[in-house]
Chain A
Amino acid sequence: MLDGLKANNPLRLLSAFPARARTRIGSNLELLINILVIAAALIFMLYQGPGFAIRIAQLFAIFAILVVSLNLVIGYTGLLSVAHVAFFGIGAYSVAVLTTNPEFEQVPGHIRYFDWTFFAALPVGMLIAGVVALFVGGVLSRFRDDLFVLVSVGFAVIAHRVFLFWQPVTRGAFGIHDISKPTIGGLVIDGRLEFMFLSLGFLVLVCLASWMIVRSSFGRVLMAIREDEQAIEVFGYKASMFKLMIWVISAMMAALAGGLIASEQTFIDPNSFLLLESILLVCIVILGGLGTIWGSLLGALVFVLLNEGMRFLPFLPDALVGQARLAVLGMLIVALMLFRPQGLVGKFKL
């Protein structure tokens, strides 16, 4: 199916059309992309059975929360951040640390434990991420463009180091096991189907919140900051405050995704929160389209399909699957930048 998607991809024909025809075809193309991606997902899920479908939907929900929230910062505000994974990690580690009982683990020194429930730990994790984002954002607001990217790289690297070496709290490279599942009343959400619905529910909330934000006057100011920060300041907006606000909101959403993945996998270690993951997220934001929530959902879906689908390609040895995923995603990004710089369904360029 994925092969079909690639072979039928009409992107390459675009440059043959004159500009005026291209805009008309452009909107049809957008519809075509939508139909293709969603159809591919549905057919793929039906073909592989319910267990696989649940896995795809679960992964999609968490990735989509990350991508939508990152798009608020990159696509709407124009801040090219690769620090998103740090907040994802803070959320995951907060939930992991707060909910587990590590007595049986063989890590030197005393480890504090809290034994909280998931739904108590999740908002605290988001709050911690928000507070960290406030401080990091304060530093980042002094930079723009290329320097902003570099400083955000620095922060992502620091965060990973903290996860790795702050052993008394994070258990370092051992990671954290047996992270608890959410409970509502007496009901434990430990089934994969139930957890998928929980994640999708949170995704809906994140999308709704994002939609409200970008449709508000605040969202319009964000876009103006993206277009010309100095010009919008002249009209009385303190751009740094707007940037800080969306930065914190986005970080808290990423922490939400982190808490979900910690509980879903029941195990996390620092290697899940490498800088590379952040770069991948940026790629998916661009793939889906800057400044569009729907595009981010579509981008996340394409990524999850690629990620999970490539293992079924008959000619690809298992050992190469992981590598091939990134290579294909890389090629997809290059092709998009050449023929469709606004992404699958986006409107804006960086």
Chain B
Amino acid sequence: MTNENWADDIGAALETQGLVKQFASVKAINYLSIAVPKRGITSIIGPNGSGKSTLINCLSGTLPIDDGIVVLQGNSMRAILPHNNPSHGVTRTFQEVRLFNQMSVLDNMLVVLTERGVLKSLFEHKRSSYQSRAKELLESVGLWEKRGDQAESLSYGQRKLLEVGRALAMNVNIYLFDEPFAGLFPAMLERVTLLLEGLKQQGKSIIFIEHNMDLIRRLSDYTFVLDSGELLAEGPVNEVLDRPEVIEAYLGT
């Protein structure tokens, strides 16, 4: 099934057209044009340095785009500002967990729930709706018991979970997860899997980067294979993973 078919069938959650991101003389993303399905779980795979994280960084405005267009919610954009992510319907996690370290677990969650405006937030104090939403989210990632702890005191896996929970707090359409499973032990891995599948059932578009082939096969509906910043293959996951060029790129010859 081709790119256009997907876009026609159920529409694209996001599209890139000729996207370029260059570091010095290296093109980390080289005229990449993809369309991510509106619903379901999409994985982005590829060897190290193939531009997967760079792509997510460009889509979320964490890195400026050098050339090309990103289409989000029908808006074509040449530049994305990070603080516009929620209005673009986008949220993300980071490959290296980026929590607000010297804040409590509860505050890490509350801070993404509260008022965005400068003046309004200045006069906004404790509100029970935020508290109960934060409780709900922290329970969903199993960290409610830890709510009083500083985020930096959590274990690696717990930090990863808190970051996923923080992304879940955003009511958006597109969730970008940069290696959400890396370094998680099985029980935590199962929890994150369920959370992602929960989002899928809500009709959201989930994009995640992963190296574990079993997880990719199990979770994703559609997959993009990147290599050296270019699209090597795309399509339904089982079909793509069996293609010889993908196997070669991943395993070498």
A-side residues, CB < 8 A to B, are 213, 215-218, 220-221, 223-224, 226-228, 230-239, 241-242, 245, 347-349
| Complex: A134 Cα to B89 Cα, angstroms | 32
Contact of B111 among A215, A224, A233, A348 (CB under 8 A): A224
A224: chain B residues at CB < 8 Å are 100, 103, 111
A238 to B123, CA, bound (A): 17
Give 14 new A-B contacts, CB below 8 A, not counting A220-B107, A235-B111.
A215-B125, A217-B115, A218-B118, A221-B121, A227-B101, A228-B99, A231-B94, A231-B99, A233-B83, A234-B85, A235-B85, A236-B84, A236-B170, A237-B83
Provide the B111-136 mask, 1 if CB < 8 A to any CB of A, else 0.
Answer: 11011101001111100000000000
Say what secondary structure dominates the interface of chain B.
loop
Q: Which residues of B are found within 8 Å of A233, using beta-carbon distances?
A: 82-83
Tally of B interface residues using CB under 8 Å: 33
Within 8 A of A (CB), among B66-100: 82-87, 91-92, 94, 98-100
Determine the chain B residues whose CB is within 8 A of the CB of A227 once the complex forms: 99-103
A interface, over-half SS: helix
B60 & A216 in contact (Cβ 8 Å cutoff): no
Interface presence of B110 (CB below 8 A)? yes
Asked if B62 CB lies within 8 Å of chain A CBs, one says yes
In whole angstroms, how far apart are the Cα atoms of A217 and B170 in the complex? 17
- Across the interface, do B121 and A349 meet the contact criterion of CB distance under 8 Å? no
Asked if A221 and B114 sit within 8 Å, CB to CB, the answer is yes
Name the distance in Å between A49's Cβ and chain B's nearest Cβ.
43
Instruction: Check B111–A220 contact: CB distance below 8 A.
Output: yes
Q: Shortest distance in angstroms between B154's beta carbon and chain A's nearest beta carbon?
A: 14
Contacts A216-B125, A223-B107 given; does A234 touch B82 at CB 8 Å = yes
Once A234-B92, A236-B87, A242-B118 are accepted as A-B contacts, the answer to whether A218 and B124 lie under 8 Å apart by CB is yes
The answer to whether B114 and A220 touch across the interface, beta carbons within 8 angstroms, is yes
CA distance A341 to B61 in the complex (A): 35
User: A291: nearest residue on chain B (CB-CB)?
Assistant: B102
Q: CA separation between A237 and B170, bound complex, in Å?
A: 13
Closest partner residue, chain B, to A215 (CB atom): B125
Q: Are B102 and A223 in contact (CB under 8 A)?
A: yes
B86 close to A236 (CB less than 8 A): yes
CB-based contact B103/A223 at 8 Å: yes
B98, A349: Cβ atoms under 8 Å? no
Contacts of A228 in B (CB 8 A): 98-101
- Residues in A whose Cβ lies below 8 Å from that of B62: 230, 234
CB closest residue in chain B, given A233: B82
Q: Is the CB of B102 within 8 A of A218?
A: no
Bound-state CA distance A238–B117 (Å) is 8
Verify A245–B118 contact, CB threshold 8 A.
yes
Q: A217-B121, A223-B100, A227-B102 are in contact. Are A238 and B83 (CB under 8 A)?
A: yes
Question: In the complex, what distance in Å separates the CA atom of A231 from the CA atom of B62?
Answer: 9
Which chain A residues border B103 with CB–CB below 8 Å?
220, 223-224, 227
B118 & A241 in contact (Cβ 8 Å cutoff): yes
Query: Which listed residue, B83, B84, B114, touches A239 by the CB 8 Å rule?
Result: B83
Q: Please indicate the chain A residues that have their CB under 8 angstroms from the CB of B100 in the complex.
A: 223-224, 227-228, 231-232
Contacts of B116 in A (CB 8 A): 236-238
CB closest chain-B residue, reference A238: B83
Closest to B114 in A: A217
* Smallest CB gap from A213: residue in B: B122
Q: Which residues of B contact A348 (CB under 8 A)?
A: 102
Whether A235 touches B124, Cβ cut-off 8 Å, given contacts A224-B103, A230-B62, A230-B82, is no
A232 and B170 alpha carbons, distance in the complex (Å): 12
Greatest chain B CB density within 10 A among A227, A232, A242 is at: A227
CA distance A226 to B85 in the complex (A): 20
Q: Known contacts being A223-B100, A227-B102, A235-B91, is A218 close to B121, with CB within 8 Å? A: yes
Q: Which of A234, A235, A236, A242 has the most CB of B within 10 A?
A: A234
Distance of B196 from chain A, by nearest CB (Å): 19
Q: With a CB–CB cut-off of 8 A, which chain A residues contact B123?
A: 216
Instruction: Give Cα A231–Cα B162 distance, bound, in whole angstroms.
Output: 14
Q: How far is the CA of A245 from the CA of B118 in the complex (A)?
A: 8
Query: Closest CB of chain A to B90's CB: distance in Å?
Result: 9
Report which of B60, B107, B118 forms a contact with A234, defined as CB distance below 8 A. B60
Which residues of the partner chain A approach B121 to less than 8 Å between Cβ atoms?
Answer: 216-218, 221
20 contacting pairs across A/B (C-beta < 8 A): A213-B122, A216-B121, A218-B121, A218-B122, A218-B124, A221-B121, A224-B103, A227-B102, A228-B99, A228-B100, A231-B99, A231-B100, A232-B111, A234-B83, A236-B84, A236-B85, A236-B170, A241-B118, A347-B102, A348-B102
